[in-house]
């Protein structure tokens, strides 16, 4: 069998409302998530044993990580299917920054699950794979499906949103990691936020969505900026770009996004920002 490949798309929280820490140790949340047309890329081919090779511009950030989410997911798939550890050679082309609020690890695991299922010819649908992904992390199911969705609970209660149109965007990472645990601890210290799910926009055209999103928030943004001021710099620089209609941080950071009216405007803004900040990771995309 020839090698097969799949994109592991970046996840973006268009808004993220977070409630106080509960007795089970988790924070309830409400979010509308979309997925970019860029991300990491995984390739899988049959082999005598399970292995993972990582390449790409952000491969170095994963050095020494002997049991990352990709390997854990594929081993869990083998256990669920009753076949033991699968014999697969996996290559991860790491194009997304690490600890960036883009769901990279969970998206990689989701893509690996789908590729491993197909390579092994296992009779498992995506819902069965989502159950396995849930054991890897709370956002495993959403990244496995990689579809626009309302996420609630721990992020694993999903309602798919088919009305969301393509949204031209720019993703910007200032080159600093943002620790999810540290951001949540800072959020707990601030004691501000609620996991309220807002009513949907009055209409699902891009202009109405932009107006509606402007009334939402990311409750983790202020705590993240307090820990990593570079995120604030990225928010300010991105908001100043011509044509930027809305700017917000994704997840627990450090990546921020800006929404634009057209893909051409997002691309032009990306060129301008890259010239001003050559050390930043800047990518135009379309969120779907």
Whole-structure pTM value: 0.96
- Which of 99, 237, 114 has the alpha carbon at shortest distance from 178? 99
139 noted as active-site residue: yes
DSSP string, 36-90: EEEEEEEEEEE-SS-EEEEESTTGGGGTT-TT-HHHHHHHHHHHHHTS-S--EEE
- Please state the rounded mean pLDDT for residues 16-44: 96
Distance between CA 282 and CA 51 in Å, rounded? 31
Q: 53 vs 92, 120, 155, 256, CA distance in Å?
A: 6, 19, 29, 29
Which pLDDT score, from 0 to 100, does residue 64 have? 65
- pLDDT above 90 (res 160): yes
What are the pLDDT digits (tens) for 88-129? Answer: 999 999 999 999 999 999 999 999 999 999 999 999 999 999
User: Is pLDDT above 70 for 249?
Assistant: yes
* pLDDT greater than 80 at residue 255: yes
Sheet holding 246-249, edge to edge: 246-249, 256-259, 167-173, 281-287
Alpha carbons 90 and 81: distance in angstroms, whole number? 19
Quickly list H helices, 135-179.
Answer: 140-145
What is the band of 212 on the pLDDT scale with cuts at 50, 70, 90? very high
Q: Are 169 and 266 in contact (CB under 8 A)?
A: yes
Bridge partners (DSSP) of residue 5 are 43
- Give the whole-angstrom CA distance, residue 231 versus residue 217: 16
Catalytic residue among 11, 93, 108, 219: 11
251: left (phi over 0), alpha (psi -120 to 50) or beta: left
For residue 190, the model assigns a pLDDT of: 86
pLDDT of residue 67: 63
List 40, 93, 139, 219, catalytic entry: 139
- The whole-number average pLDDT for the span 80-86 is 97
The confidence band for 65, taking pLDDT boundaries of 50, 70 and 90, is low
pLDDT score of 66: 56
- The verdict on whether 11 is a catalytic residue reads yes
Across 72-82, average pLDDT: 97
pLDDT of 133 over the 90 cut: yes
């Amino acid at each position: 069998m020839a090698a097969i490949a799949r994109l592991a798309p970046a996840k973006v929280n268009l808004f993220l409302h977070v409630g106080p820490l509960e007795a089970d140790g988790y924070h309830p949340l409400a979010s509308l998530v979309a997925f970019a047309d860029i991300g990491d890329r995984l390739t899988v081919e049959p082999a005598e044993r399970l292995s993972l090779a990582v390449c790409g511009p952000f491969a170095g950030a994963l050095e020494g990580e002997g049991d990352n989410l990709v390997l854990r997911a594929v081993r869990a798939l083998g256990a669920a299917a009753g076949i033991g550890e699968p014999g697969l050679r996996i290559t991860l082309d790491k194009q997304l920054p690490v600890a960036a609020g883009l769901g990279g690890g969970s998206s990689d695991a989701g893509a690996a699950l789908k590729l491993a299922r197909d390579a092994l010819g296992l009779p498992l649908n995506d819902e069965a794979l989502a159950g396995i992904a849930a054991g890897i992390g709370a956002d495993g199911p959403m990244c496995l499906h990689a579809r626009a969705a309302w996420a609630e609970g721990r992020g694993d209660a999903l309602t798919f949103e088919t009305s969301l149109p393509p949204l031209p965007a720019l993703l910007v990472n200032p080159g600093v990691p943002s620790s999810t645990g540290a951001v949540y601890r800072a959020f707990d210290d601030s004691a501000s936020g609620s996991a309220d799910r807002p009513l949907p926009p009055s209409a699902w055209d891009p202009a109405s969505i932009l107006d509606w999103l402007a009334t939402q928030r990311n409750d983790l943004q202020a705590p993240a900026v307090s820990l990593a001021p570079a995120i604030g710099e990225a928010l300010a620089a991105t908001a100043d770009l011509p044509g930027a209609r809305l700017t917000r941080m994704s997840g627990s950071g450090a990546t921020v996004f800006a929404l634009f009216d057209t893909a051409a405007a997002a691309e032009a803004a990306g060129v301008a920002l890259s010239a001003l900040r050559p050390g930043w990771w800047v990518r135009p995309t379309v969120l779907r």
